[in-house]
C-alpha cells in the first residue's frame, strides 16, 4: 500500500480523527472530574470544619460560663474562711462546675486569702493548706480567661490524692478570680477537660483511615492530633508555617506535598485555634483514576475495532474508485464503448452511473442541458400587534385630571396626578440611577393612592435631611419596601396605622434608610427564613429566577430583589435587614453606599 494513496491517507485520517478526540475527551474529562472533586470536597469540608469549629467554641463557652460560678463564693475567697461550712460550700461549687459539662476530668481552685488549694477529680475532693499556687495556673501575663494547650493531667502539686487516677491527655481552661470591680486577685480556677470532649466533635469531621486532622493554637502548638505523642508540641510542618500561619484569612484550602489542606480559624473566649484537615490527593481522585483505568481499557478495545473498521471501510470506498480509474484509462486509449458497470449503490456508484450517462451522451452527440430555476418569494406575512403608547395613557390621564378640576373634583385630580407621576417615573427605563429625592417623590405618590384605597387608615411621615436628597441610588428601591406594609402589615379594621421613613448618614461613604410601621409582626419562623434568604443572597444567586407561585414567599421576593439590585450596583457594601418591633410592627433597614463619596 502506497503511503501517498487515497486509501493510506483515508486510513490514517480516520484513525487520527477517531483516536485524538477520544484521548482528548478522556484527558479533559479526567482533569475536569479531578478538579471538580477537589473543589467539591474543599467546599463541603470548609462548611464541615466551620460547623465543627462552632461546636468547639460552644464547648469552650460552656466551660467559661460554668467557671463563672466560682464568683458565687467570691466573698468567702476574699475573706479566707477556715471552717467546715466554708469547705463544704467550696466543694459544692467545684462539684457543680465539674458536672456542668461532660468530659470534665478535674477542677482546681486556689484561694489566695488562706493559701489553700482544692482539687476535685471525678467528684473526689482533696485539699492542701498553706501551699503556693501551682506554677501553670499563674496568669498575670495572660487574659483573665485563657485555654492552655493539651498536656497530660497532673495533681497540681497535691501528692496525697487518694485514690490515684491515671493521668490522661487534657486541655485546661484557666480563670484568674478577681475581686470585681477591682483587679485584686483573690484566687485561681483551672478546669481540666479530657480530650475525649474534642474527640467526640472531631471524629465527625474526617475519615481516620484516609485523612488527618490537626487543631493548633495561636502559638503553633498542637491541641489535637491523631498521634497523641505530639500533643502540646509545636507543629513543625512547612504547610502550616508557610501558608496557614502566614495567611490572614479565617478559612481556605490549598494543595501541597500531594495533599489537599482545608483550614478554618476559630476564636472563642481565651482561645484562638485553627482546625486543619489533610486529605491525600490520591484519595480524592481515586474515583477519577478508576474511571480513567476503565476508559483506557475501553480505548484499547475501541482502537482495535476502529482500526479493523477503518481498513474495511477504506478498502470498500477506494476499490470502486480504482475501478473507475481503469475505465477512464480505457476511454483515454480510445475505447469509447467501454461497458461501465457500477460497483455499488452508494455515492461512488452514482458517480459511475453519471459517468456512463455522460459517455452515452458524447457518443450519440446529444447535448442535454439542464436549466436551473431560481424562485424568489417576496411576499411575507407580517403580523402587527397593536400597542398602546404609554405616553398616550399619560396624556389621557392629564386630560381626565383637567376635566376633574373643571368639575370641581380636586381629590380625583390629586389621585390622577399621583398615578400619572408613578407612570411617568416607571416609563423612563433608561434611568438606572436616580436620586433619593426622586425615590421619595415616587413613594409619596404611591402613598397618596394608598390613602384613598384604605380610606386614610394610616399616617405616613418621613424624616430626610435636605443634604441627602441628591444622593444617587438605584431606581425603584423604596416603593417595594413600603409596599410590604400594605400587603402584609396593615390592619384594615383599624384607623391608627403608622408608616415612617427616615434617612440619615452613617459616616464616610454610607447612608441608612429605615422604614418602620406598627402593623402585624412577621411570624418568627417566617422571619428567620426571610433573614436567612437575605443573608445567603450573593452575586451568584442574583440572576436565578424567583418562584412567585408560593404566596407565602412573596414578601421575600420584593426584599430579595431589592437587595439583589443594590448588590449588583454596590457589590457587598450594600445591606438590607428586617426585624420585628416590640410590641407590634416591622422595621426594614437599608444600608446604601454613597456613590458620590466612593467615586471620589
- DSSP line for 448-466: HHHHHHTTT-EEEEEEE-G
Q: What percent of the chain has pLDDT over 70?
A: 80
DSSP alpha helix (H) spans, 133-285: 196-202, 238-239, 281-284
Q: How far apart are CA 56 and CA 268, in angstroms?
A: 9
Between residues 471 and 554, the one the model is more confident about: 471
C-alpha 447: how far from chain center: 38
Considering only CA atoms, give the Rg of the chain.
41
Q: How far apart are CA 324 and CA 320, in angstroms?
A: 6
Q: Which residue has the cell 411617568?
A: 424
Cell for 9? 491517507
Q: Which residue has the cell 429625592?
A: 437
* Residue 597: predicted pLDDT: 66
Specify burial of residue 238 (Cβ count, 10 A radius: 0-12, 13-18, 19+): exposed
Cell for 353? 452511473
* Residue 501: predicted pLDDT: 95
Under the phi-then-psi rule, with left for phi > 0, alpha for psi from -120 to 50, and beta for the rest, what region is 369?
A: beta
* Residue 544: predicted pLDDT: 45
* Residue 179: predicted pLDDT: 85
Q: Are 192 and 119 in contact (CB under 8 A)?
A: no
Q: How far apart are CA 274 and CA 261, in angstroms?
A: 12
CB atoms within 10 A of CB 4: 6
Q: Are 117 and 127 in contact (CB under 8 A)?
A: yes
* Residue 368: predicted pLDDT: 38
Q: Give the domains, in start order, of the chain with CATH numbers.
A: 1-284 (3.30.450.20), 456-599 (3.30.565.10)
Q: Are 76 and 179 in contact (CB under 8 A)?
A: no
> Which residues are within 8 A (CB) of 347 and not within 5 positions of it... i.e. 6 or more apart?
none
First vs last C-alpha separation in the chain: 77
Mean pLDDT value of segment 517-533? 90
At 499, the pLDDT band (50, 70, 90 cuts) reads: very high
Specify burial of residue 193 (Cβ count, 10 A radius: 0-12, 13-18, 19+): buried
Q: How far apart are CA 303 and CA 20, in angstroms?
A: 11
Residues forming a β-bridge with 106: 121, 192
In this structure, the dihedral spanned by the alpha carbons of residues 38, 40, 46 and 47, taken in order and rounded to 10 degrees, is -170
* Residue 86: predicted pLDDT: 82
Calculate the average pLDDT of the chain. 79
Q: How many CA atoms lie within 13 A of 384 on its CB side?
A: 3
Angle between helices 390-406 and 410-427 (to 10 degrees): 160
Cell for 584? 407590634
> Which residues are within 8 A (CB) of 444 and not within 5 positions of it... i.e. 6 or more apart?
462
What three-state secondary structure class fits 160? coil
* Residue 553: predicted pLDDT: 44
What pLDDT, in 10s, does the model give residues 93-118?
999 999 988 899 999 999 888 888 89
> Which residues are within 8 A (CB) of 116 and not within 5 positions of it... i.e. 6 or more apart?
80, 82, 110, 127, 128, 129, 130, 131
Which own/partner contact pairs does 359-367 have at CB distance under 8 Å and 24+ positions apart? Answer: 359/331, 362/336, 363/336, 363/337
At 449, the pLDDT band (50, 70, 90 cuts) reads: confident
Between residues 247 and 315, the one the model is more confident about: 247
Q: What percent of the chain has pLDDT over 90?
A: 18
Question: Phi/psi of residue 277, each to 5°?
Answer: -115, 130
Q: What sign does the CA torsion over 549, 553, 559, 564 have? A: negative
* Residue 391: predicted pLDDT: 52
Q: CA dist 2 to 6, 9, 149, 315, 600, Å?
A: 9, 9, 79, 13, 75
**Angle ∠(483,485,487) on CA atoms, nearest 5:** 70
Tell me whether the omega of the peptide bond preceding residue 583 falls within 30 degrees of 0, making it cis: yes
Is residue 141 scored above 80 in pLDDT? Answer: no
Is residue 174 scored above 60 in pLDDT? Answer: yes
Q: Are 110 and 117 in contact (CB under 8 A)?
A: yes
Q: CA dist 492 to 144, 262, 458, 496, 558, Å?
A: 56, 55, 9, 10, 22
Of 24-28, 169-173, 369-373, the poorest mean pLDDT is in 369-373
* Residue 512: predicted pLDDT: 92
Question: Phi/psi of residue 93, each to 5°?
Answer: -70, -45
Is residue 563 scored above 70 in pLDDT? Answer: yes
Q: Are 63 and 103 in contact (CB under 8 A)?
A: no
Is residue 357 scored above 80 in pLDDT? Answer: no
What pLDDT, in 10s, does the model give residues 27-84?
787 777 777 878 888 888 899 999 999 999 999 999 999 999 988 888 888 877 778 8
Q: CA dist 31 to 38, 254, 285, 505, Å?
A: 11, 17, 10, 51
Between residues 586 and 476, the one the model is more confident about: 586
* Residue 341: predicted pLDDT: 73
Mean pLDDT value of segment 1-20? 69
* Residue 58: predicted pLDDT: 93
Of 281-285, 366-370, 535-539, the poorest mean pLDDT is in 366-370
Between residues 10 and 586, the one the model is more confident about: 586
**Angle ∠(467,469,475) on CA atoms, nearest 5:** 150
The whole model's pTM is what?
0.49
Tell me whether the omega of the peptide bond preceding residue 532 falls within 30 degrees of 0, making it cis: no
At 377, the pLDDT band (50, 70, 90 cuts) reads: very low
* Residue 96: predicted pLDDT: 92
Question: Phi/psi of residue 174, each to 5°?
Answer: -105, 140
What pLDDT, in 10s, does the model give residues 536-560?
775 444 444 444 444 444 444 578 8
* Residue 181: predicted pLDDT: 82
Cell for 89? 460550700
Between residues 296 and 407, the one the model is more confident about: 296
Q: What sign does the CA torsion over 203, 204, 208, 212 have? A: negative
Amino acid at each position: 500500500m502506497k503511503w501517498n494513496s487515497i486509501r493510506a491517507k483515508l486510513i490514517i485520517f480516520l484513525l487520527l480523527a477517531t483516536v485524538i478526540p477520544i484521548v482528548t475527551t478522556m484527558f479533559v474529562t479526567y482533569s475536569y472530574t479531578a478538579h471538580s472533586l477537589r473543589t467539591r470536597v474543599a467546599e463541603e469540608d470548609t462548611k464541615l470544619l466551620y460547623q465543627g469549629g462552632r461546636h468547639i467554641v460552644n464547648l469552650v463557652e460552656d466551660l467559661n460560663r460554668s467557671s463563672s460560678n466560682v464568683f458565687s463564693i467570691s466573698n468567702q475567697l476574699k475573706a479566707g474562711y477556715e471552717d467546715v461550712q466554708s469547705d463544704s460550700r467550696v466543694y459544692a461549687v467545684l462539684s457543680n462546675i465539674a458536672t456542668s459539662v461532660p468530659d470534665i476530668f478535674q477542677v482546681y481552685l486556689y484561694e489566695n486569702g488562706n493559701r489553700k488549694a482544692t482539687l476535685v477529680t471525678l467528684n473526689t475532693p482533696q485539699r492542701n493548706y498553706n501551699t503556693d499556687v501551682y506554677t501553670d495556673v499563674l496568669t498575670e501575663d495572660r487574659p483573665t480567661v485563657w485555654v492552655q494547650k493539651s498536656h497530660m493531667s497532673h495533681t497540681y502539686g497535691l501528692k496525697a490524692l487518694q485514690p490515684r487516677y491515671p493521668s490522661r491527655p487534657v486541655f485546661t481552661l484557666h480563670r484568674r478570680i478577681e475581686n470585681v470591680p477591682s483587679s485584686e486577685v483573690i484566687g485561681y480556677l483551672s478546669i481540666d477537660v479530657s480530650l475525649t470532649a474534642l474527640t467526640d466533635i472531631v471524629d465527625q469531621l474526617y475519615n481516620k483511615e484516609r485523612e488527618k486532622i490537626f487543631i493548633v493554637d495561636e502559638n503553633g502548638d498542637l491541641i489535637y492530633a491523631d498521634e497523641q505523642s505530639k500533643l502540646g508540641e509545636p507543629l513543625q510542618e512547612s504547610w502550616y508555617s508557610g501558608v496557614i500561619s502566614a495567611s490572614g484569612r479565617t478559612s481556605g484550602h490549598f494543595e501541597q506535598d500531594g495533599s489537599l489542606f482545608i483550614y478554618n480559624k476559630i476564636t472563642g473566649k481565651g482561645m484562638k485555634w485553627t482546625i486543619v484537615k489533610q486529605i491525600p490527593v490520591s484519595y480524592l481522585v481515586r474515583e477519577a483514576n478508576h474511571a480513567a483505568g476503565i476508559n483506557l481499557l475501553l480505548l484499547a478495545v475501541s482502537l482495535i475495532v476502529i482500526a479493523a473498521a477503518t481498513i474495511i471501510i477504506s478498502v470498500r470506498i477506494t476499490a470502486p474508485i480504482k475501478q473507475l480509474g481503469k475505465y477512464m484509462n480505457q476511454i483515454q486509449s480510445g475505447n469509447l464503448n467501454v461497458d461501465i458497470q457500477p460497483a455499488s449503490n452508494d455515492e461512488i456508484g452514482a458517480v459511475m452511473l453519471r459517468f456512463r450517462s455522460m459517455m452515452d451522451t458524447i457518443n450519440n452527440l446529444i447535448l442535454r442541458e439542464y436549466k436551473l430555476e431560481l424562485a424568489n418569494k417576496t411576499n411575507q406575512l407580517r403580523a402587527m400587534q397593536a400597542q398602546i403608547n404609554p405616553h398616550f395613557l399619560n396624556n389621557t390621564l392629564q386630560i381626565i385630571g383637567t376635566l376633574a378640576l373643571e368639575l370641581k373634583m380636586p381629590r380625583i385630580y390629586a389621585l390622577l396626578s399621583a398615578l400619572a407621576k408613578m407612570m411617568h417615573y416607571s416609563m423612563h427605563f433608561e434611568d438606572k440611577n436616580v436620586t433619593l429625592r426622586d425615590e421619595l417623590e415616587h413613594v409619596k405618590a404611591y402613598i397618596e393612592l394608598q390613602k384613598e384605597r384604605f380610606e386614610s387608615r394610616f399616617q405616613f411621615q418621613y424624616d430626610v435631611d435636605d443634604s441627602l436628597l441628591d444622593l444617587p441610588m438605584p431606581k425603584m428601591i423604596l416603593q417595594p419596601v413600603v409596599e410590604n406594609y400594605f400587603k402584609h402589615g396593615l390592619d384594615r379594621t383599624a384607623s391608627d396605622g403608622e408608616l415612617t421613613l427616615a434617612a440619615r448618614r452613617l459616616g464616610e461613604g454610607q447612608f441608612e434608610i429605615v422604614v418602620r410601621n406598627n402593623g402585624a409582626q412577621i411570624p418568627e419562623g417566617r422571619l428567620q427564613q426571610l433573614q436567612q434568604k437575605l443573608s445567603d443572597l450573593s452575586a451568584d444567586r442574583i440572576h436565578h429566577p424567583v418562584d412567585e407561585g408560593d404566596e407565602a414567599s412573596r414578601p421575600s421576593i420584593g426584599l430579595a430583589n431589592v437587595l439583589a439590585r443594590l448588590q449588583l450596583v454596590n457589590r457587598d457594601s450594600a445591606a438590607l435587614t428586617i426585624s420585628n418591633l416590640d410590641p407590634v410592627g416591622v422595621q426594614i433597614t437599608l444600608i446604601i453606599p454613597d456613590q458620590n463619596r466612593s467615586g471620589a
